[in-house]
Amino acid sequence: MLGKSKGNGQDFINEVATIGRTHHLNVLQLLGFCIEGSKHALIYEFMPNGSLDKFIFTRGGSINLSYNQLYDISIGIARGIAYLHHGCEMKILHFDIKPHNILLDENFIPKISDFGLAKLHPIENSVITIGYMAPEVFYKNIGGVSYKADVYSFGMLLMEMASKRKNLNNEAKHSSQIYFPFWIYDQLGKVGEIEIENVTKEDMKIVKKMIMVALWCIQLKPNDRPSMSKVVEMLEGDIEILEMPPEPTMYPDEVISRDETTNSDQSMSSFISSSGYGEITNYHLAENIS
């Protein structure tokens, strides 16, 4: 349900028509819509396994996915984002890739949701999750906002899938482990191996590949990140041909924010003033509307 939708009914129908033209195995399929006065509804295919977050952030009673399953899911997500960027009729910048927006069908095939809805929902009612947001959204001196922002978000998501924990953990036993990407890069650089609890030697090869690809995706400067098509190629390829990525940094001044979320009106005003909205007019901005 879209409460307090922007524009008139025709705007809603026009935007739904854009979303409805997307067809990909890893993109949630829009089945229909309803309009009754100010109430607007979108109808999607049902995803019985819910969102990805409940499977990668282990809780009591939750299903424990194998690393082979997580690896397959990561490739599916990457293919879906690549399609939104380059494969569909209207290029779409999702702008809010995170575990909650990845839904799983009965066979655990991932479907990207909550895209293409920015024009239908007021900005002030949205919450953008900073943990997955690309730094160029807030800092104009490292590059303009483009589809590489989704690459960054996917990298943060991929890192959490590989480690089965949140990237930012204030309850970590050691201070060096509070921000996982820094800690894991330090391990790779020093000994070339990764120490993660409850990961078998057989699974470690998958984990290491996912982490190395993730580290490429979360490079500070957008130009240093691969495209999503390249990310798919890297994930599907042999780990031996992957080069060691440069050390990750979060912000130009090396200041790490501990806040997980912020109101999107503040984020978007920063984004518009710092990067220039005109730089991404070929993309539809999509925000989480839950």
pLDDT tens digits, one per residue of 67-76: 999 999 999 9
**pLDDT-derived band at 253, boundaries 50, 70, 90:** low
- What is residue 150's predicted lDDT score, i.e. its pLDDT? 94
The values of phi and psi at residue 149, to 5°, are -65, -40
Asked if residue 112 has pLDDT above 70, the reply is yes
pLDDT at site 206: 93
pLDDT value at residue 260: 40
Q: Where are the alpha helices (DSSP H) in 124-176?
A: 148-163
Kindly state the average pLDDT of the residues 6-21.
73
Q: Please, what is the average pLDDT of the chain? A: 77
In this prediction, residue 172 has a pLDDT band, given cuts at 50, 70 and 90, of: low
Which of 90, 91, 234 lies closest to 155 in space, CA to CA? 234
Structure tokens at 103: 């839904």
pLDDT at residue number 223: 93
Residue 117 pLDDT greater than 80, yes or no: no
- What is the band of 158 on the pLDDT scale with cuts at 50, 70, 90? very high
Residue-level pLDDT at 115 = 77
Give pLDDT, residue 94: 86
Q: Please compute the mean of the pLDDT values over residues 199-216 and round it to a whole number.
A: 91
Residues 6+ positions from 121 with CB-CB distance below 8 Å: 2, 4, 5, 6, 287, 289
pLDDT score for 233: 97
User: How is the chain split into domains, by residue range?
Assistant: 48-285
Q: What's the mean pLDDT in 262-267?
A: 40
Task: Indicate the CATH number of 48-285 among 3.40.640.10, 3.30.365.10, 1.10.510.10, 3.50.50.60.
Answer: 1.10.510.10
pLDDT grade for 128, boundaries at 50, 70 and 90:
low
Please report, rounded to a whole number, the percentage of residues in the chain having pLDDT higher than 90: 37
pLDDT computed for residue 250 by the predictor: 64
Q: What integer is the mean pLDDT of 141-154? A: 90
pLDDT at 270: 41
265 is known as an active-site residue? no
Long-range contacts at 11-17 (CB < 8 A, ≥ 24 apart): 11/119, 11/120, 12/40, 12/120, 15/116, 15/117, 15/119, 15/120, 16/42
The larger pLDDT score, comparing residue 9 to residue 152, is at 152
The DSSP string of 195-259 is --TT--HHHHHHHHHHHHHHHHHT-SSGGGSPPHHHHHHHHHS-GGGPPPPPPP-SSTT-PPP--
Q: How many whole angstroms separate alpha carbon 284 and alpha carbon 258?
A: 29
Above 70 in pLDDT, residue 164?
Answer: yes
Mean pLDDT value of segment 199-223? 91
Residue 264: band (very low, low, confident or very high) from pLDDT cuts 50, 70, 90:
very low
Spacing of C-alpha 128 from chain mean position: 11
pLDDT band at 197 (very low <50, low <70, confident <90, very high): confident
Catalytic residue, from 11, 53, 72, 96: name it: 96
Mean pLDDT of 88-105: 88
CA angle 49, 52, 53 (to 5 degrees): 120
Residue 99 has a pLDDT of: 93
Whole-number Å distance between alpha carbons of 290 and 278 = 27
Q: What is the mean pLDDT of residues 47-67?
A: 82
